[in-house]
């Protein structure tokens, strides 16, 4: 590890969706204690940090992304004492803990919104975004996410509209109000003082709203407001948040910038005074195709390098179908793991991808999420038993396919499993400063193959990813040894200039 580089540059971060990780109480919903009990797995796997999706008090209309108290744990997940215990145990194992922070909106049950809604004269009225009008016509044509309708709800009692980029139960805070800024900064300090290592900041690009809240042009009328909102004033708010983070040593500020264009994500790094890391989703949406991936990587290089901004890579999370499901086969999911863990930047794993999990098939009667995201949120199977290591006999969502085999205990016993592949790749990263921090350089390669070198001082690695479903010859200069192969083939042996279908390899110069 480099002493001069911040920890989050060389870290591999593992996302935990707490409802789905492990239930210790028997109510079918994962909890903080379930995370603590499985720190062994994370340590064995070799990740450096966990990011836990929201576990704060919430009416759960958006499963925790509707917060009613930023400074407490929802009883479904445990207590503040449970959190402190989890944090202490994680730290004792050298694992950092990043938590979610939801600054764009609160729950409609948050006391701030309850007060704001109570009267036009409430001292908190201006903490949210209210507009005059008539009940038949919202103030503008913006669309809310996950709902088939306007980003506005009419409040009968006080006779005004309020803005919500997401559900009506998630009113947007008014960051133009300094009292809101101060109150939200205080919620950060609450957790920083408890010792968390950083925050993943939800919809950070949403904070600033355009003056006058103008209509979308007709061609954008059907597009959710939250995926295009990109206002200069937001950068002031982000810098203000960064100054709070910088009051504490070594903390991470990672933002979810859900703008599907890397050129629009890059400015959120500022000049080293905004986000330290930003999610960049275009690669997640790229198909399993060498050219598409090359384009995605090139735009990261061209947009981020000039700013000295450190990239992030993510293939799965709690909002999108898992990449195993999107790409269709385990062979591709394995090759994708090689790609994800060898590109230049900080990789994010989503719990269960190390098991090669597919999305659960959720029958209509069990569907819960208004955004249709239940499949990727299926519970994590820990063993082959009927309840897969969960305390209750029925988890909140159905199990993912093949849980009797794709569970931690079974795959840990199979040396050839995808789980062991992830573990080998994480070991390889730890051993190579080129993989963790080195430069990235594309290498000429046959059609269908993405090839690159990672280099730092004397340390060097080469990665070849065959996106094609047929074998391909790939001749490289010099003697190279297979350090890891997506299908495990030939590891520790000389590379024989040939890739199997959907196969990826990590190569190192042969010694001697």
**What is the set of active-site residues?**
202, 247
Residue 180 is a binding residue for ligand GLC (CB under 6 A):
no
CB of 369 or CB of 487, closer to ligand GLC: 369
CB of 283 or CB of 438, closer to ligand GLC: 283
CB of 331 or CB of 378, closer to ligand GLC: 378
- Tokens at residue 291, please? 């050219």
How many C-beta neighbours within 10 Å does residue 298 have? Answer: 12
The minimum distance between CB 14 and ligand GLC, in angstroms, equals 16
Strand partners, 130: 162
Using CB under 6 A as the binding rule, the residues of this chain from 254 to 283 that contact ligand GLC are 256, 258
How many of the chain's residues bind ligand GLC (CB under 6 A)? 10
Q: Which of 422-439 are b and which e, b meaning 16 or more Cβ less than 10 Å from the residue's Cβ?
A: bbbbbebbeebbbbbbbe
What is the CA 191 to chain-centroid distance, rounded? 20
Q: Render 212-272 in DSSP notation, one character per residue.
A: T-PPPPGGGTTSBGGGT---HHHHHHHHHHHHHHTTSTT-EEEE----S-HHHHGGGGTTT
Helix (H) or strand (E) holding 285: helix 282-285
Q: Report which of 101, 99, 102 is spatially closest to residue 13, judged by C-alpha positions.
A: 99
Q: Which residue is nearest to ligand GLC (CB)?
A: 65
CB of 48 or CB of 66, closer to ligand GLC: 66
CB of 169 or CB of 487, closer to ligand GLC: 169
The minimum distance between CB 203 and ligand GLC, in angstroms, equals 5
Per-residue binder mask for ligand GLC (CB under 6 A), 352-391, x = binder: ----------------------------------------
Q: Report which of 93, 45, 50, 95 is spatially closest to residue 412, judged by C-alpha positions.
A: 45
The minimum distance between CB 202 and ligand GLC, in angstroms, equals 5
Q: Where are the alpha helices (DSSP H) in 46-136?
A: 80-92, 111-118
CB of 17 or CB of 191, closer to ligand GLC: 17
CA–CA distance, 256 with 314 (Å, rounded to integer): 12
> Do the strands 504-509 and 459-466 form a parallel or antiparallel pair, or are they unpaired?
antiparallel
Residue 102 is a binding residue for ligand GLC (CB under 6 A):
yes
Q: Assess contact for 23 and 391: CB atoms under 8 A.
A: yes
The minimum distance between CB 43 and ligand GLC, in angstroms, equals 26
Using CB under 6 A as the binding rule, the residues of this chain from 311 to 330 that contact ligand GLC are 318-319
The minimum distance between CB 102 and ligand GLC, in angstroms, equals 6
The minimum distance between CB 109 and ligand GLC, in angstroms, equals 15
Residue 166 is a binding residue for ligand GLC (CB under 6 A):
yes
CB of 21 or CB of 258, closer to ligand GLC: 258
The dihedrals phi and psi of 504, each to the nearest 5 degrees, come to -125, 145
Strand partners, 15: 51, 350
The minimum distance between CB 167 and ligand GLC, in angstroms, equals 8
Using CB under 6 A as the binding rule, the residues of this chain from 22 to 81 that contact ligand GLC are 62, 65
Q: Assess contact for 101 and 199: CB atoms under 8 A.
A: yes
Which residues of this protein are in contact with ligand GLC, per CB under 6 A?
62, 65, 102, 166, 202-203, 256, 258, 318-319
């Amino acid at each position: 590890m480099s002493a001069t580089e911040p920890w989050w540059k060389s870290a591999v971060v593992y996302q935990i969706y707490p409802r789905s990780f492990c239930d210790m109480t028997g109510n079918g919903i994962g909890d903080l204690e379930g995370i603590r009990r499985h720190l062994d797995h994370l340590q064995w796997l070799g990740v450096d940090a966990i990011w836990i999706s929201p576990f704060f008090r919430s009416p759960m209309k958006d499963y925790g992304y509707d917060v009613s108290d930023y400074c407490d744990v929802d009883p479904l997940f445990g207590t503040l004492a449970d959190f402190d215990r989890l944090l202490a145990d994680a730290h004792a194992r050298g694992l950092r803990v990043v938590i979610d922070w939801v600054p764009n909106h609160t729950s409609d049950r948050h006391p701030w919104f309850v007060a704001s809604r109570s009267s036009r004269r409430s001292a908190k009225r201006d903490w949210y975004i209210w507009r005059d009008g008539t009940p038949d016509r919202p103030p503008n044509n913006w669309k809310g996410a996950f709902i088939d309708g306007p980003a506005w709800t009419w409040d009968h009692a006080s006779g005004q509209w309020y803005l919500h980029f997401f559900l009506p139960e998630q009113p947007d805070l008014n960051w133009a109000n300094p009292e809101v800024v101060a109150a939200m900064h205080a919620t950060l300090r609450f957790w920083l003082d408890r010792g968390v290592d950083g925050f993943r900041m939800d919809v950070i690009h949403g904070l600033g709203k355009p003056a006058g809240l103008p209509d979308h042009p007709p061609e954008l009328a059907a597009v959710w407001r939250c995926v295009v909102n990109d206002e200069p004033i937001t950068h002031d708010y982000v810098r203000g948040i960064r100054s709070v983070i910088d009051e504490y040593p070594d903390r991470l500020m990672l933002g979810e910038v859900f703008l599907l264009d890397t050129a629009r994500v890059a400015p959120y790094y500022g000049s080293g005074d905004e986000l330290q890391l930003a999610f960049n989703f275009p690669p997640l949406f790229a198909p399993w195709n060498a050219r598409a991936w090359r384009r995605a990587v090139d735009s990261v290089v061209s947009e981020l390098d000039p700013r000295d901004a450190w990239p992030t890579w993510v293939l799965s999370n709690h909002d999108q179908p898992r990449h195993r499901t999107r790409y269709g086969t385990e062979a591709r999911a394995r090759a994708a793991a090689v790609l994800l863990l060898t590109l230049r930047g900080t990789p994010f794993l989503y719990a269960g991808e190390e098991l090669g999990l597919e999305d659960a098939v959720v029958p209509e009667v069990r569907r819960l999420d208004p955004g249709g995201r239940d499949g990727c949120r299926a519970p994590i199977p820990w063993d082959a038993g009927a309840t897969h290591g969960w305390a209750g006999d029925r988890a909140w969502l159905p199990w993912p396919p093949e849980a009797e085999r794709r569970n931690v205990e079974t795959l840990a016993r199979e040396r050839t499993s995808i789980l062991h592949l992830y573990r080998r790749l994480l070991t390889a990263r730890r051993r190579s400063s080129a993989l963790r921090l080195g430069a990235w350089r594309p290498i000429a390669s046959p059609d269908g193959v993405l090839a690159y070198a990672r280099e730092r001082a004397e340390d060097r690695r080469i990665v070849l990813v065959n996106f094609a479903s047929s074998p391909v010859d790939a001749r490289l200069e010099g003697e190279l040894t297979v350090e890891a192969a997506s299908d495990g083939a030939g590891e520790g042996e000389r590379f024989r200039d040939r890739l199997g279908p959907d196969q990826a390899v990590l190569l190192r110069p042969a010694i001697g």
